[in-house]
């Protein structure tokens, strides 16, 4: 690898790391805003959205520049392709965190709010998946990436049980129907964040092992 290409890839590593950190922060704040009833955290997440979008564009432009000017091969090429793909997933996670925050604005501070499913556990599991998928990239650890694939099944199980739980809560507390529907939307967005974290983990496995594992886990 030429020194120039090495420097460009190092810059790319820093950019994607900064973006990942901001997205993780957005997810953490969005979840906490609901669990802790803190409206100011939800507003903070919505304010972060444009910054995340701008950074996503910067990362993509950096990837395309490296591909055009240096025509990398082998491991370098797989790394850049992985970053390009996960860059899109990170931007979508940022959007989903904003969606959660928008729902939180309406339910934060609601008295006697009933959360009929394990929101805390679901949020913690999704945040762990995201963190592990990003750590797997930094550490080039395909085993860590595979733990994310396993965790996705656990989040899907919580998501499947959530619907009857919310339906039962609405029947029991019809006066809270609007809030319960918003909480349902939060869970749906968290489940999608888990899906995007899984996408990142699958791409990390491709980067390290050269294997495409999408659609093959079952």
pLDDT tens-place string over residues 92-102 = 999 999 999 99
CB 187 within 8 A of CB 180: no
CATH classification code of 3-209: 1.20.58.220
Q: Residue 133 to residues 44, 88, 136, 161: CA-CA distances in angstroms?
A: 24, 14, 5, 25
What pLDDT tens digit does each residue of the chain (218 aa) get? 688 888 999 999 999 999 999 999 999 999 999 888 889 999 999 999 999 999 999 999 999 999 999 988 888 999 999 999 999 999 999 999 999 999 998 887 676 777 777 888 899 999 999 999 999 999 999 999 999 999 998 898 888 888 888 889 899 989 889 989 999 999 999 999 999 999 999 999 999 998 888 876 55
pLDDT tens-place string over residues 194-205 = 999 999 999 999
pLDDT of residue 120: 87
pLDDT of residue 213: 86
Euclidean distance between CA atoms 98 and 152, whole angstroms: 21
150: Cβ–Cβ under 8 A, 6 or more apart, which residues? Answer: none
- Residue environment code for 131-142, b if the CB has 16+ CB neighbours within 10 A, otherwise e: bbbbebbeeebb
Greatest Cα pair distance, the chain, in angstroms, is: 66
Look at the block and give the residue holding tokens 């590593």: 13
Q: What is the CA radius of gyration of the chain?
A: 19
Look at the block and give the residue holding tokens 């093959």: 216
pLDDT of residue 216: 61
DSSP state of 175: G
Long-range contacts of 160-169 (CB under 8 A, 24+ apart): 161/117, 162/116, 162/117, 162/187, 165/116, 165/117, 166/116, 166/117, 168/116, 169/114, 169/116
Look at the block and give the residue holding tokens 């729902």: 103
């Amino acid at each position: 690898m030429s020194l120039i290409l090495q420097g460009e890839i190092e810059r790319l590593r820093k950019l994607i790391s900064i973006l990942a950190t901001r997205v993780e922060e957005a997810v953490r704040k969005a979840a906490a805003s609901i669990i802790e009833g803190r409206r100011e955290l939800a507003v903070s997440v919505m304010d972060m959205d444009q910054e995340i979008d701008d950074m996503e564009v910067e990362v993509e432009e950096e990837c395309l520049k490296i591909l055009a000017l240096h025509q990398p091969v082998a491991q370098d090429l797989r790394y850049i392709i992985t970053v390009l793909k996960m860059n899109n997933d990170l931007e979508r996670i940022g959007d989903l965190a904003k969606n959660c925050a928008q729902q939180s604005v309406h339910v934060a501070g609601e008295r006697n709010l009933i959360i009929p499913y394990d929101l805390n556990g679901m949020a913690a599991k999704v945040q762990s998946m995201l963190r592990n998928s990003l750590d797997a990239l930094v550490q080039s650890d395909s085993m860590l990436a595979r733990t994310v694939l396993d965790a996705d099944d656990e989040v899907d199980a919580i998501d499947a049980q959530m619907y009857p739980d919310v339906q039962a809560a609405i029947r029991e507390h019809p006066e809270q129907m609007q809030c319960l529907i918003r909480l349902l939307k939060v869970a749906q967005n968290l489940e999608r964040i888990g899906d995007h974290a899984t996408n990142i983990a699958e791409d990390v496995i491709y980067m390290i092992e050269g294997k495409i594992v999408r659609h093959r886990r079952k």
